[in-house]
Amino acid sequence: MDPADQYELLAEAWARRLNKPFSTDPHHSALDVQLITSLWNIYPEVIESIEVDPVSFADRVAVHRHAQLED
């Protein structure tokens, strides 16, 4: 699977399974990444891209959470 696809699927899984925002605060986003690694088998490149830019991942999670409300 392509890391970009896994990134998007992970954002959707976070939104559906946890139904909470992904934190953009440095300390809390690190905890959220730890939660991701304990729940899902994710490529290291995906984890690294989330760690480098948690705001972008939080935005994708928010999009999926919003879409869920519309369903």
What are the boundaries of each domain within the chain? 3-70
CA R_g for the chain: 11
Range 3-20 average pLDDT = 96
Range 48-52 average pLDDT = 97
Residue 28 has pLDDT above 80, yes or no: yes
Residue 61 has pLDDT above 80, yes or no: yes
pLDDT of residue 1: 85
Evaluate whether 61 touches 11 at the Cβ level (below 8 Å): yes
Counted residue by residue, the chain has a size of: 71
Evaluate whether 54 touches 24 at the Cβ level (below 8 Å): yes
User: Nearest to residue 36, comparing CAs of 7, 1, 65?
Assistant: 7
pLDDT of residue 52: 96
Tokens representing 15 are 């939104």
Tokens representing 9 are 């699927």
Residue 71 has pLDDT above 80, yes or no: no
